[in-house]
């Protein structure tokens, strides 16, 4: 449980950390966010997360709440005050608080919240050892999934449906039967020939920071990448599958809608990429 939360310039006890009821994040999901991994007390791929946050803000014309250096300080301070060694740090920026009206308010300061929480690495490792199942769902999200907004209701519905079937993640599928991405991850397969496949960037998926860093790792490992969409049938016929996200790095997928992928166990290429992931990531000092 986080004990100290940063809200608009102050570090507050968790129980008292709050934003106004007329905050546009609450009223309209008019807000963006970032989630970065804290690994051994250090931030993973901070620059890429910051660049994506800046892009999300620019796309929605939300002014940056502060300079990137100041944001970096807030993240570090929140991690430090909560003594997070392994976990996640969340930054959330809304357009701010204003009487409820759809068009953008004038002269309103954005709301900034930063929360850091610990995650037991042994728990994630145990999940990765067995691999997770995914449940496929129609992709009912909007046409700008490349912007990291807090408008996460389709992801909540999909994750809940997955949970009810003992699946750890949901995979969204477009109208052509092609996988877009996970509810909170990017989706990958490894073909029987050992080639990595993941959907190309576009408005239909989030440009995952972990995805980007994994592309670098593939280069280091000498693995071939095809950036193209794949179908659920192709994933079921693949040798391996996995998802990538800051919260789970590389997580093996061993079942799709209850049917096994490969031999139904985490694949060797997936496990090697999981093991070596942080070699390719940029690790920032605390």
- By CB under 6 A, tell whether 245 contacts ligand PMP: yes
Within a 10 A sphere around the Cβ of 199, how many other Cβ atoms? 20
Residue number with CB closer to ligand PMP (53 or 98): 53
Q: Which of 106, 135, 148, 159 is catalytic?
A: 148
- The correct pick among 27, 56, 244, 270 for binding ligand PMP (CB under 6 A) is 244
The number of residues in the chain equals 286
- The correct pick among 46, 181, 204, 240 for binding ligand PMP (CB under 6 A) is 181
Task: Tell me the window of 23-31, 105-113, 119-127, 243-251 that interacts with ligand PMP (CB under 6 A).
Answer: 243-251
Task: Tell me the window of 57-65, 113-121, 180-188, 254-262 that interacts with ligand PMP (CB under 6 A).
Answer: 180-188
Instruction: Give CA–CA dist 224/222, Å, rounded.
Output: 7
- Catalytic residue status for 148: yes
Within a 10 A sphere around the Cβ of 275, how many other Cβ atoms? 12
CB contact at 8 A, 80 and 6: no
Query: What is the SS3 string spanning 145-208?
Result: CCCCECCCHHHHHHHHHHHHCCCCEEEEECCCCEEEEECCCEEEEECCCCCEEECCCCCCCCCC
Instruction: Give CA–CA dist 220/216, Å, rounded.
Output: 7
Residue number with CB closer to ligand PMP (19 or 206): 206
- By CB under 6 A, tell whether 94 contacts ligand PMP: no
Residue number with CB closer to ligand PMP (98 or 171): 171
- By CB under 6 A, tell whether 210 contacts ligand PMP: yes
Residue number with CB closer to ligand PMP (27 or 185): 185
Instruction: Give CA–CA dist 171/139, Å, rounded.
Output: 8
CB of 192 vs ligand PMP, minimal distance in Å = 25
For ligand PMP, the binding residues (CB under 6 A) are: 35, 181, 184-186, 206, 208-211, 244-246
């Amino acid at each position: 449980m986080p004990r100290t939360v940063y809200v608009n310039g102050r570090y507050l006890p968790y129980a008292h950390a709050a934003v106004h009821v007329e905050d546009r994040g609450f009223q309209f999901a008019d807000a963006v966010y970032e989630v970065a991994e804290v690994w051994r007390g250090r931030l993973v791929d901070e620059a890429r997360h910051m660049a994506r946050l800046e892009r999300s803000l620019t796309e929605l014309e939300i002014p940056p709440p502060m300079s990137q250096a100041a944001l970096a300080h807030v993240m570090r301070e929140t991690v430090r005050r909560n003594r997070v060694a392994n976990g996640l740090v969340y930054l959330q920026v809304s357009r701010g608080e204003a009487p409820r009206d759809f068009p953008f308010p004038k002269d309103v300061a954005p709301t900034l919240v930063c929360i850091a929480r610990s995650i037991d690495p042994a728990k994630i490792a145990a999940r990765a050892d067995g691999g997770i199942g995914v449940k496929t769902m129609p992709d009912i999200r909007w046409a700008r999934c490349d912007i990291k907004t807090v408008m996460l209701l389709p992801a909540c519905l999909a994750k809940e449906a997955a949970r009810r079937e003992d699946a750890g993640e949901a995979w969204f599928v477009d109208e052509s039967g092609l996988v877009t991405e996970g509810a909170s991850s990017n989706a990958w397969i490894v073909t029987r020939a050992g080639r990595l496949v993941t959907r190309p960037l576009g408005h239909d998926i989030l440009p995952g920071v972990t995805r980007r860093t994994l592309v670098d790792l593939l280069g280091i490992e000498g693995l071939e990448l095809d950036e193209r969409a794949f179908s659920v049938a192709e994933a079921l016929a693949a040798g391996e599958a996995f998802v990538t996200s800051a919260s789970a790095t590389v997580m093996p997928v061993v079942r799709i809608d209850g049917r096994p992928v490969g031999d139904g166990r985490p694949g060797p290429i997936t496990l090697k990429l999981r093991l070596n992931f942080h070699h390719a990531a940029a690790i920032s000092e605390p």
